Amino acid sequence: MMKVFCGRVNPTTGSVDWLEEDEHYDYHQEIARSSYADMLHDKDRNQKYYQGIRAAVQRVKERGQEAIVLDIGTGTGLLSMMAATAGADFCYAIEVFKPMAEAAVRIIQANGLSDKIKVINKHSTEVTVGSDGDMKQRANILITELFDTELIGEGALPSYEHAQRNLMQGRWEAVPHRATVYAQLVESRRMWGWNKLFPLQMDSVDIRPPLAMQSCPGTLSVCDVQLGQMSPSDFTKLSDILCVFRVDFSQQVNSYAVSHPVHFTPIASGAAQVILSWWDIDMDPEGKITCSMKPSWMYPASQSVPWRDHWMQCVYFLPEERPVKEGEELCLTGHQDDYCVWYTLTEPRKVSELDQVPLDRPACQCGAHITWNRTRFGELNDQHRMELYRDALRKVLTPSCVCLCVSDGSLLPFLAHSVGTAQNPYTCSMMKYIFTVESSSMSQHLMEKLFQTNELGDKIQVLQKSPAGITAADLHDKKISALIGEPFFTTSLLPWHNLYFWYSRTALSDRLTRDFTVLPLRASLYVLAVEFKDLWRIRSPCGICEGFDVSIMDEMIKDSLNFRESQEAEPHPLWEYPCRALSDPTKVMTFDFREPVPTEDMKSEGSFNLVRSGESHGVVLWMEYQLTEDISLSTGLLCASEEVGECQWYPHSKQGVYFFSSVLDPQSAPTHGFKSVTYLLTFDPKLGDIRMCFTQVS
């Protein structure tokens, strides 16, 4: 078998690792990380599509025409099989991803529908029509599922526009028939804290963000979230639910930019900050078959809420917050181009015909929204977390120490300066040497601007270097007596990737004083067996979907997961995904930052008991940092109720999730309950990664 070498930056060590991989590595990664299983488990979506397809075929037949279907982005071929079974005369199923197109051919054949469906392995814009073309004739039923959480973010509009002009007859039916985008204006300090840096006042600390940061419109990267997991106390509704725009897929779609002004009257006074948004799709012209992405709190208590992770809800941020008064007339304008949506809020008298021309896409001008993602903003705005760091720094810093901070975009240098000043406010020479390391020029520029805004530009020096590249001259020929970090690094995906701090400490060994202090002292890896309410569905095989056998897709996903990822953890923000603790949290590995990274593997082996009954879906992993001997900070479990084990998770970090084989292959799992979980963990210091194996024991 042919092998290829893949170079990738190791988020833990910071080095480029060259690994020998199977030639099909990229293919397996694509399949393993796809949302195919999630979509196949979305019963509400599947049933609504099937109903809409049956109705569309019937409408065409009632006109006395053959029903010719074009299915763009067919995936498993499910929607084409629905159409063929509903009476369509022929279906053209387009799938650009070759392995998926090959799978669709096999799935369609296994379901006995090959004579009615042709799979075309091309992008829809490359498909030809004619006697020698990919399609023998134009279609009159257009079926697609090109949508993302933002509706148009995957390029749905250009794909529709091209297909309708080039691949469809003069009159066609579309499934879905139309989409409607909704928005609601709210005030929410929690969500606003995902986009703006709040002023921080803590004892002598007074951190003010630059004005450019406060007025910056941010980036167009949509903030998708499971809004149903937000507490009602997290936001105040300032408007009713507003219909912003509709797209009728049975008419010619255009992908050019357009604005959609909506006049409304606020239902409460407050600070307008955030727009919550979602969409519905009507599968039929009458709007009787509707699939809605509305958040769970909009459903009546008696109605079950469909769970889906491939489509969630959107959070958009206004460029600046503005006060609104109940009863005053305002205009919320949704701007959209071919791929993006964004919003502005104005007074009605300022909306003219010229204002109907959409604004240019907003772009970050301050650098913060490029450097920090929404969870990082939330972390920096976490007052309790900052107080823990302040208290810990008071214990380890002395007025005359030389302090180096190793973390990306950290506020710890502010706290270090404040602690030094508070310890001896009458001696301006104290805490003279504070350095901080930034991994990128963008982050360096951002932090320098932040320090200058707070008149600390000459007191905190930013080094845009790797820790290994720091010289004595960089440190003014001083040795580091206090090495501090959160730790946080923008390249980190999994909790242990922030062990880059440990590698940095090791690289700086020659720059440290003999009696140096380090904060945090150490990190501990914790594990917890859990039962997920819904998240397990993203890795569970489907088998039969709406009467069609899709087990070939299940096997593809399983094979790709087994290629590597079934033995690995994957990152998830678990505050969005309810789960129950079936075990007590167990410390399985500790990393001592007072010592250099070891040269040999670190191993940890043992077991922990399940203390509650339930279906054990997997293990959650997270780090807890011991800032000092008596101050700790968790990036994972905050608490679990004694009665049922409902978990509360730290909301500003992603936790690692290791799914058990019983989720990946339920047919091979025993039917009786499990009593404990054994584990074998190996930390490889050369790769900076953790190999793991968890096994359920009866």
* Residue positions annotated with a catalytic role: 145, 154
The H helix count followed by the E strand count for the chain is 16, 38
Residues 6+ away with beta carbon under 8 Å from 85:
113, 547
Provide the b/e sequence for 165-187 (b: ≥16 CB within 10 Å). eebbeeebbbbbbbbbbbbbbbb
Q: How many alpha carbons lie under 13 Å from residue 570 in its C-beta half-sphere?
A: 16
Find the farthest-apart pair of alpha carbons in the chain and give their distance in angstroms, rounded.
93
Dist. CA 167–CA 162, nearest whole Å: 8
Triad 233, 237, 238: Cα angle to 5°: 145
In 3D space, the residue among 481, 513, 484 whose CA is nearest the CA of residue 415 turns out to be 484
In 3D space, the residue among 223, 203, 523, 233 whose CA is nearest the CA of residue 383 turns out to be 203
Residues 6+ away with beta carbon under 8 Å from 582:
529, 530, 531, 610, 611, 612, 613, 614, 616, 645
Tell me, letter by letter, the H, E, C secondary structure of 500-513: HHHHHHHHCHHHEE
Rg (CA), the chain: 28
Q: Give bridge partners of residue 314 from the DSSP assignment.
A: 224, 277
Two structure tokens written together for 403: 């302090």
Dist. CA 282–CA 284, nearest whole Å: 6
Helix (H, G, I), strand (E, B) or coil at 514: strand
Instruction: Tell me which amino acid residue 134 is.
Output: D
Dist. CA 124–CA 122, nearest whole Å: 6
Dist. CA 612–CA 471, nearest whole Å: 54
Contact 328, 266 (CB under 8 A): yes
Dist. CA 273–CA 487, nearest whole Å: 30
Helix (H, G, I), strand (E, B) or coil at 192: helix
Q: Is 115 left (phi over 0), alpha (psi -120 to 50) or beta?
A: alpha
Query: Does the CA dihedral 181-182-186-188 come out positive or negative?
Result: negative
Dist. CA 391–CA 373, nearest whole Å: 26
Residue 508: other Cβ atoms inside 10 A? 21
Residues 6+ away with beta carbon under 8 Å from 445:
367
- Tokens 């949508």, residue located: 147
